[in-house]
Amino acid sequence: MGTKELGWPAAGLLAVRCLALMLSVSTVVVTLAAGSAQAADPKKAREKIVELNKQALLSYEAKDFETARDLLTKALKEAKVAGLEDDKMTARTYLHLGAVYWVGFQDQAVALQNFSLAKKIRPDIQLTPSIETADLKSVFDMAAAEVEPTPAPAPGRPVAPVRPQPRALPPAAPAGPRLMGDDGGEPDLPAAMSAPLMCTVPQDFVPPNKELTIRCALKPGINASKGVQIHYRAPGVEAYQALGMRKTAKGWYIVTLPSNVMKAGTLQVYFDARDTADNELASNGQIDSPSVIEVRKKGSGKSGRGREEGALDKINQQAMDEKYEAGLHRRREGAFWIGVGGGAGWGFVPAGNLEWEKYKDAQQVQRSVKVSAMTTTTGLFHLLPEIGYMWGENFALALQGRIEFIQQQQATYKDPNTGNIVQLAGSINGAPSTIAPAAFLRAIWYTDLSSGGNLQFSYSGDVGGGFIRFPVKPVAVAHADPNGGDPIVDWSKTIAKTDTRPMGLFLVGASGGLVWHLSRHFAFALEGRFLTGLPNYGAVVEGNFSAQLAFGGVKGPAPEEEEGVVEGEGGAIKDEPPPVEESSSEE
C-alpha cells in the first residue's frame, strides 16, 4: 500500500486549521480561567457591593431615587456574578431597593417583593437606621420571609395587602392616659395615605409635665373593629402600657397622654389596629422598634430631629472616613523610616577667637586670632541622615545626624614689590576643620493639609550635641621688606587658611515643614529649622530637603461594617419582578 505525501498547499492549509483550532481552545480556556478567577474573588465583589450601597444611600437621602435604584440593581448583578446571592450584603441591597421603590416610586408591590427577598436571605434583618421611618417600617413589616406569587386580582376588586401573623397584645395598665373626645376644630383626614396607619408622632422634642395629644389615621377599607391602640412606655418604666384611642367624628383616632406620664427623658410609643379576633391589621412602629419622643425643656439637649440628622451625619461621616482611608497611602503607626537629605544654613555668631589660627607676638607668645561678630553661611552644605519611628498616627521620634562640610581655601596676598597675587607659603603646618558633626533627637508631630491626608504639615522639637561651624575666609596682610627681601607677613592680621567660628557643644532647635507621601513607603520632606547652641553661642536658620523610605507599620483601620448601614441581576424591579430563590442561608 503506497504512501501519499502532502504537497505544500495542502500541508499549509492543514497547519493553519490546526493553529486556528489551538487558538480557539486557548481563548476558551483563558476566558474560563479569567471568569473563574473573577468568580473566585468574592471579597472584592463584596467590597464593590458595599461601596455601591453607600453611594445609593447618599442618592436616596438626596431624593435621587432613579440613581439609587440603578446603583442597587448594579450591586445585585455583582452579587450574582460573584456567587453572593445568599450573602448578608445581598439581603441589605434588596432591603435598600425595596425602600427606594416604596419611598421614591410608591410601588408597594415591588417594594414588598424586595423586602421579602431580604428577609428570605436573612430573616432577622432590620431597616437601615438612616432611612427608617414609621411609614417605611409599616410596609417593611408587611413583607413575608417567603416570596409568594401574587394572584391576579379579579376585575374591579382591590388586592388585600399582606398581613403579619397575629401577635399578643401587651396588657393595659389600669391607670393610663385619658381619652380625648371629638374636637370640632380638628383637621380633615389626609386625602391620600402612604401607609395603612399614620400617626402624628412629634419629630422634635416636647416639654415635660404637659399633656400630649396624638392623632392616628387608619387607611380606608381596613376594618379595625377593635379600634386603634397606643402602646407607650414612659421614662423610667420597664413595661409598655396599652390604651385604646377614641375615634372622632371626622375619622381620627385620638388620645391625650396626661402630664404625669410626660416626664423628662425618652417616651417610647407604637400603635396598632386590630379586629375582634385580635388580629393585627396595621401598625405604626413595633415593640422592638418604637417611635421615640424626646421629653425635655427647650435648649437642654438635642431634639429628635437632631437624632435623625445625626444618624445621616454618621452615615455620611463613615462614608467620608472610609473614602479617606482608601486614598490614604502615607506611613502609619509602627512604621520605621530611614531618610537621607541635605541642606544649607545661614546665621549669626558673635565676636570671638578662631578655632585654629594662632600667631606669635613680639615676645614669641602664641596667641589666637580674634574676629568680629558676623553673619554668614554655615559651610558649603550639610548632609542629614535620619532614622525614625512612627509612635502614633501623627507623632514620631527620630534620630538625626548633621554633617557639615566646609570648603578649604588658602590665603593670598598682593606682593608689594611686583603687584602680583601670591599664595601664602604652603609650608604652614596643619589645617582647620573641614567638617562639623552634630546629632539630634527629634520629636515630630504631623497634621493633615490635604483632604486625602497625604500632604502633611510637620513640626518638631530638636535637642542634641555637636558643633555647627561658621567659615571665615582666609586673608593675608603683607608689607615690603625694607632690606629688599621677600614681603613680610603680618601674622596678627592674617588667616592663612579657611578657619571657623563654632556654635555648640549643646544644641537645641525647632522646625516646621511639609511632608508629601507618595506611598506608604516613600515620602519627600521639606523643612525650615532654627538652631542655637551653648556655651559657644550662635543662631542658625537652615533649609533642608530629604527623601524617606519607610518599612512596616499598621495598614490603618479597615472599614467597619456597621449593621444597618451597609452590610454587605436583577433584583425586584418594576417591569421584571425577581424569581423566587429556592434556597436561603441565615447569617
Q: What is the set of domains in the chain, with CATH numbers?
A: 42-142 (1.25.40.10), 197-320 (2.60.40.10), 329-552 (2.40.160.20)
Q: What angle (nearest 5°) sits at the alpha carbon of residue 581, between those of residues 580 and 586?
A: 130
Distances (CA, A) of 467 to 372, 507, 517, 540, 567: 20, 8, 32, 12, 60
- Cell numbers that stand for 320 in this block: 467620608
- Beta-bridged to residue 233, according to DSSP, are 268
Instruction: List, in order, residues 6 or more apart from 68 with CB less than 8 Å away.
Output: 56, 57, 59, 60, 96, 100, 104
Rounded Cα gap, residues 104 and 577, in angstroms: 17
What pLDDT does 368 receive? Answer: 79
Burial 277-303 (b: 16+ CB within 10 A, else e): eeebbbbbbbeebbbebbbbeeeeeeb
What pLDDT does 143 receive? Answer: 84
Three-class secondary structure assignment of 317-348: HHHHHHHHHHHCCCCCCCEEEEEEEEEEEEEE
What pLDDT does 555 receive? Answer: 61
- Amino acid, res. 6: L
Report yes or no: 60 and 101 within 8 Å, Cβ to Cβ: no
98 backbone φψ class: left, alpha, beta (φ>0; ψ -120 to 50): alpha
Rounded Cα gap, residues 544 and 540, in angstroms: 13
Picking from 231, 241, 221, 225, the residue whose alpha carbon sits closest to that of residue 271 is 231
What pLDDT does 322 receive? Answer: 60
Dihedral angle over CA of 65, 68, 74, 76, nearest 10: -90
Report yes or no: 501 and 352 within 8 Å, Cβ to Cβ: yes
- Decide: residue 579, CB within 10 A, 0-12 exposed, 13-18 middle, 19+ buried: exposed
pTM of the model: 0.44
Dihedral angle over CA of 69, 71, 77, 78, nearest 10: -150
Quote the strand ranges of 393-433, DSSP E.
395-405, 412-414, 421-423
Task: Assign 281 to helix, strand or coil.
Answer: strand
Q: What angle (nearest 5°) sits at the alpha carbon of residue 536, between those of residues 532 and 541?
A: 25
Question: What DSSP string describes 501-548?
Answer: EEEEEEEEEEEEEEEEESSSSEEEEEEEEEEEEEEETEEEEEEEEEEE
Instruction: Identify the helix (H) or strand (E) that includes residue 137.
Output: helix 134-142
- Cell numbers that stand for 37 in this block: 478567577
Profile the chain (587 residues) by mean pLDDT over runs of 10 residues: 41 48 49 48 86 87 86 92 90 93 88 90 89 87 62 39 37 36 62 83 83 90 90 84 88 87 87 91 88 77 44 54 66 92 96 82 73 91 96 94 91 80 68 91 94 88 96 85 79 82 95 93 95 96 96 62 41 42 38
Picking from 412, 404, 411, the residue whose alpha carbon sits closest to that of residue 433 is 404
Instruction: List, in order, residues 6 or more apart from 69 with CB less than 8 Å away.
Output: 97, 100, 101, 104, 573
Q: What angle (nearest 5°) sits at the alpha carbon of residue 125, between those of residues 122 and 129?
A: 155
What pLDDT does 568 receive? Answer: 40
Picking from 250, 135, 136, the residue whose alpha carbon sits closest to that of residue 191 is 250
Rounded Cα gap, residues 294 and 216, in angstroms: 19
Instruction: Identify the helix (H) or strand (E) that includes residue 57.
Output: helix 42-61
Task: Assign 97 to helix, strand or coil.
Answer: helix
Rounded Cα gap, residues 291 and 268, in angstroms: 6
Q: How many CB atoms lie within 10 A of CB 154?
A: 8
Rounded Cα gap, residues 100 and 56, in angstroms: 9
What pLDDT does 494 receive? Answer: 81
